[in-house]
Amino acid sequence: MKSFAELDYYQILNIPENASFIEIKRAYKEAVAIYKKGSLATYSLFSDQERGNLLEEIEKAYTTLADENKRAGYDRNLADSSKVDDSIIVKQSQKKPIPLNEDKKSLSAVDLVRRIESKLALKEVKDLLTDILGRDLISGYDLKKLRKAFGIEIFEIYAVTMISVSVLRTIEEDQYENLPADVYLNHFLSSYAKILQLDALRVIDGYYQNRSQELSN
């Protein structure tokens, strides 16, 4: 896994090389929310100085990619250094954009906790929770099953934790090659687990064990 310092501007904002301006702007806002002081996702991860440095790099990434001329020059440098395929840069994105009304959802952690607690009274949910947390290995798909069992949408996890939807999907879909560096993944998994009222250490350990086994196969 790459460290933050090794990431290019697209990786810092967690967007494809052919992202639209709207995608860049949305990703920038998400990144600032994740790394700002007091963020639930990274609250105990960085010192004020480190957080300031990260936010400075995020700002550089945004100001470069949001400017057409600066982005063109940056893309050319990436292509010349063989960090990206030149053909990828000029392609239009085929990704379906996230509906704007969904990424503006306003929700509190208290609301989610109340809904989750009401679901915990159901036998089928209790059984699923016991089954998944009783295993040595926990996959992203297992976490997704629990989230759905609690009746929680992925956009609601984003609304409370400010972990980007794309990162949440990467975790849930076990896209190990696209996961953020472990130092960030630890806290993303922890925040995800806490929102769903799960044992964070158990989730992190199980997820890493599952990843290790899958990658060794």
pLDDT on residue 64: 94
Distance, C-alpha 54 to centroid of its chain: 16
Q: Is 155 exposed, middle or buried (0-12, 13-18, 19+ CB in 10 A)?
A: middle
pLDDT in tens, 145-194: 999 999 999 988 888 877 888 889 999 999 998 888 887 888 889 889 88
In the block, which residue shows the tokens 């440098």?
77
pLDDT on residue 127: 93
d(CA 51, CA 42) in angstroms, rounded, equals 9
List all residues 6 or more positions away from 123 whose beta carbon is below 8 Å from its beta carbon: none
Other CB atoms within 10 A of residue 111 CB? 13
d(CA 150, CA 104) in angstroms, rounded, equals 21
Q: Is the pLDDT of residue 10 over 60?
A: yes
Q: For the chain, percent helix, then strand, then coil, each to nearest 5?
A: 65, 0, 35
Q: Give yes or no for a contact between 172 and 205, defined as CB atoms under 8 angstroms apart.
A: no
Domain ranges, ordered by start, for the chain = 4-97, 103-216
The model carries a pTM of: 0.58
What is 4-97's CATH topology? Helix Hairpins (1.10.287)
pLDDT in tens, 87-143: 544 443 344 444 433 443 445 677 788 888 889 889 999 999 999 999 999 999 999
pLDDT mean over 77-91: 62
pLDDT band at 217 (very low <50, low <70, confident <90, very high): confident
pLDDT in tens, 16-59: 788 888 888 888 887 888 788 777 656 666 788 888 888 999 99
Which stretches of 36-164 are DSSP H helices?
Answer: 48-65, 68-80, 86-90, 100-103, 109-119, 123-133, 140-149, 154-161
